[in-house]
Amino acid sequence: MKIRRVALAFLLAPMACLAAPHMMVVAANPIAAEAGLGVLRQGGTAVDAAVAVQAVLGLVEPQASGVGGGAFMLTYDAASRKIVAYDGRETAPASAGPGLFLRPDGTPKSFYEAAMGGRSVGVPGAIAMLELAQHSGGHAHWADLFQPAIRLAENGFPLTERVAKMIAFEAPRLGRQPALQAYLMPNGLPASGTTLKNPAYAATLREIAAHGASGLLSGKVAADIIDVVRRDENPGLLTAGDLAAYRPLVRTPVCAPYLGYTICSAPPPSAGGIVVLQTLGMLAQFPLPTLAPTGPDAAMLILEAERLAIADRDAFGADADFVPVPVKGLLDQSYIAARAKLIDPARAMATVTAGKPEGSAQAPGRQLPEHGTSDVAIVDAAGNAVSLTTTIEYEFGAHLLVDGFLLNNELTDFSLAPTEGGKPVANRVQGGKRPRSSMAPSLVLDRQGKLVAVVGSAGGGRIPGYIIQATIGALDWHMTPSQALAQGHVGGSATRTELEAGTDAATLLPVLQARGSPVTVAPMGSGSSMIMVTPNGLLGAADPRRDGAAVGE
């Protein structure tokens, strides 16, 4: 019931404070959201605001994202109604190979063996991606966008209760690097509201403000990254050449129809977007709008469809620049309809396997934890929009602090084992390759190509499920963003299904188990963002489970 009460507060807040807003920012921290809104007030675009939000998030939410990580972003241009997908995913060092995470005996390392330290660090791409997008879709001066974060880093910012709890949870591992421990725990575990300052981060941002992404990927900061990564007790392979060679990419988004709308999301190396589109396509074969949103029938359909889509993700998801990814086959409407026929609303599938879409066949890889992620939704005064999901992978990334920011452990999003059953895994480590991701920043358009909604989420491997549930809440059941994001979560994978503890969803456990579902009750800490375009203006919400806020005017 706790989430219901919080959700009501978020539902009332937009009506009380955001009367018919025409521009809006949703971010996982109110300070970051306000920084983005400040940019919009000064005539900046949605992309301009995204740069400012990311700079602040890296400071106030260091466990989730930052300049040491990567991102995917979709932009919507209101004038042309064009969507562009930007790929700022990290890349593996050129010298990395399939054995990167194997022990001397050839067995794969455990997640923590692989993730903690320099071995797991990929070339960070978020800032380079934002720079590329801002050159095309920004109006503000690049350097000005970093000033809010620089001021906060120098003057101090309050630690939220959520981040303080995460520091406490990760404290044993955070102590592996003295510099990180000295920053986050100078006098033991910090309390909520503790003021932190980070002058080193301010200095890094000044380099980026003055020189763009090259201020991070070359020069002093780059040298410091290489030094920390290669000198770590779990040393990595990054070189100055790897950082200098990094290029963000412009890609074609993946799009598919749903209930007369078009849903667009991030393409490979994200696999999350395809999972969202496949699952929605399967659900469209059933009368979901007629079912009770909190009932077992709707939950059963969602869980089973997600299990099928994630089985495909595990088999085929990878960097399409390195291995064939059958995107066309996976999103073929006849293929999706055939997969939907495997779903029996009265009985869960005993086993779930990948299908055989037109295209490649690879061995499925094992899913590993993904946690440290943040999400941003923005609509500016001209109706342009950004859906941004940004990450350093695990909570506090590789647990390495460099010049005031944390480095990612993104390479553990590759399969730690390069083969399964004697076949190569699509998502195996290869030099220069980008690891598979569950991030799925998404946009919803109407039949005329006009923006209807911006939606995305944090939450690691559960991200597609959170986006799916928010989307069907809004489109099938006509919920407001606050209502859609506050739903008790139900989520599926090829091997398990989950109901969110402490919510109405958890009460479905007995009936779903009676239908054969391998369901469990677990915490499901999403971090979703949503903005909807209505005739009366914008309506938005941040996930009530986190510190976020929707701000606009």
What's the rounded Cα separation, in Å, for the pair 71 and 367? 19
- Any catalytic annotation for residue 373? yes
> Where is average pLDDT lowest: 2-11, 79-88, 373-382, 475-484?
2-11
Q: At what angle do helices 296-316 and 333-340 cross, to 10 degrees?
A: 130
pLDDT at 19: 54
Same domain, 105 and 174: yes
Looking at the fold, whether 261 and 385 belong to one and the same domain comes out as: no
Asked whether residue 295 is domain-assigned, the answer is yes
Matching residue, tokens 């073929």: 332
Give the CA angle between residues 392, 396, 400 to the nearest 5°: 95
Question: What is the per-residue pLDDT for 362?
Answer: 55
pLDDT at 11: 34
Q: Tokens 């042309």 sit at which residue?
A: 80
The verdict on 329 and 392 lying in the same domain is no
pLDDT of res. 17: 41
pLDDT of the residue at 496: 79
Least confident of 23-32, 469-478, 480-489, 495-504: 495-504
Q: Is pLDDT above 80 for 8?
A: no
CB atoms within 10 A of CB 450: 12
Question: Is residue 343 included in any domain, yes or no?
Answer: yes
> Residue range 365-374: average pLDDT?
61
Percent with pLDDT over 70 in the chain: 94
Residue whose structure tokens are 């007369």:
260
Residue 69 included in any domain: yes
What pLDDT is attached to residue 360? Answer: 57
pLDDT at residue 9 above 80?
Answer: no
Enter the tokens of residue 159. 């630690």
Q: State residue 33's pLDDT score.
A: 98
Q: Identify the three-state secondary structure at position 295.
A: coil
Q: Are residues 320 and 381 in the same domain?
A: no
Distance CA 397, CA 252 (A): 28
- In this structure, the number of other CB atoms found within 10 A of the CB of residue 374 comes to 31
Q: What is the C-alpha to C-alpha distance for residues 208 and 190, in angstroms, rounded to an integer?
A: 29
* Residue 493, pLDDT score: 77
Cα–Cα distance for residue pair 392/404, rounded to 1 Å: 14
Domain that residue 120 falls in: 21-250+373-424
CB within 8 A of 394, min separation 6: which ones? 115, 369, 370, 371, 372, 409, 412
Residue 2 lies in a domain: no
Same domain, 490 and 380: no
Tell whether 231 and 142 lie within a shared domain.
yes
Sign of CA dihedral 50, 51, 57, 60: negative
- Which CA distances in Å does 492 have to 308, 311, 484? 9, 10, 18
Supply the mean pLDDT for the chain.
93
Question: What 3-state class would DSSP assign to 256?
Answer: strand
E-assigned strand segments in 14-155 = 24-27, 70-77, 82-88
**How distant is the alpha carbon of residue 122 from its chain centre?**
17
Same domain, 103 and 124: yes
Q: Work out the burial of residue 9: count CB atoms within 10 Å of its CB; fewer than 13 is exposed, 13-18 middle, 19 or more buried.
A: exposed
Residue 6 placed within a domain: no
Could you tell me the two tokens for 540? 């938005």
Inform me whether the pLDDT recorded for 156 exceeds 80.
yes
Within 8 A by CB and 6+ apart from 130, the residues are: 47, 50, 51, 54, 71, 73, 88
Question: pLDDT tens digit string along 513-552?
Answer: 999 999 999 999 999 999 999 999 999 999 999 999 999 9
pLDDT at residue 16, rounded to an integer: 35
122 inside domain: yes
CA distances from 376 to 284, 331, 388, 413, 545 (A): 27, 26, 5, 22, 15
Q: Over 90: is that where the pLDDT of 479 sits?
A: yes
Going from the C-alpha of 414 to that of each of 56, 95, 401, the distances in angstroms are 28, 15, 22
| Contact status, residue 360 vs residue 316, Cβ threshold 8 Å | yes
**How far apart (Å, rounded) are the C-alpha atoms in residues 166 and 159?**
11
Q: Which of 18-32, 135-149, 507-521 has the lowest average pLDDT?
A: 18-32
Assign 421 a pLDDT band (cuts: 50, 70, 90): confident
- From 160, 194, 373, 471, active-site residue: 373
pTM of the model: 0.94
Per-residue pLDDT at 365:
52
Same domain, 387 and 342: no
The DSSP annotation for 131-143 comes to HHHHHHH--S-GG
Contacts of 530 (CB under 8 A, 6+ apart): 26, 377, 453, 454, 455, 470, 474, 481, 484, 485, 540, 541
CA distance 518 to 500: 14
Token pair recorded at residue 190: 């910090």
Structural domain count, the chain: 2
Q: What is the DSSP letter of 522?
A: E
Shared-domain flag, residues 244 and 257? no
Amino acid identity, residue 229?
V
12 pLDDT more than 70: no
Strand partners, 552: 24
Q: Which CATH number do you get for residue 285?
A: 3.60.20.40
Give the model's pLDDT for residue 6. Answer: 31
Closest C-alpha among 487, 492, 483, 481 to residue 456: 481
d(CA 362, CA 419): 10
- The per-residue pLDDT for range 388-406, each reduced to its tens digit, is 999 999 999 999 999 999 9
Q: Quick one: pLDDT at residue 136?
A: 95
Any domain includes 8: no
Check whether 180 has a pLDDT greater than 70.
yes
Same domain, yes or no: 342 and 390: no
pLDDT digits (tens, 9 = 90+) for 187-232: 999 999 999 999 999 999 999 999 999 999 999 999 999 999 999 9
287: helix, coil or strand?
A: coil
Cα 541 to Cα 553: distance, rounded to the nearest angstrom: 14
Secondary structure in 3-state letters for 393-427 = ECCCCCCCEECCEECCCHHHHCCCCCEECCEEECC
Diameter over CA atoms, the chain: 63
Q: Is residue 433 part of a domain?
A: no
Chain centroid offset of residue 208 CA: 23
The answer on 400 and 347 residing in a single domain is: no
In the predicted model, what is the mean pLDDT of residues 452-474? 96
pLDDT band at 7 (very low <50, low <70, confident <90, very high): very low
Q: Are residues 359 and 388 located together in one domain of the fold?
A: no
H-helix or E-strand spanning residue 292 = none
Q: Give pLDDT tens digits for 81-131.
A: 999 999 999 999 999 999 999 999 999 999 999 999 999 999 999 999 999
378, 53 contact by CB (below 8 A): yes
CA atoms within 13 A on the CB side of 128: 23
Q: Which amino acid is at 94?
A: A
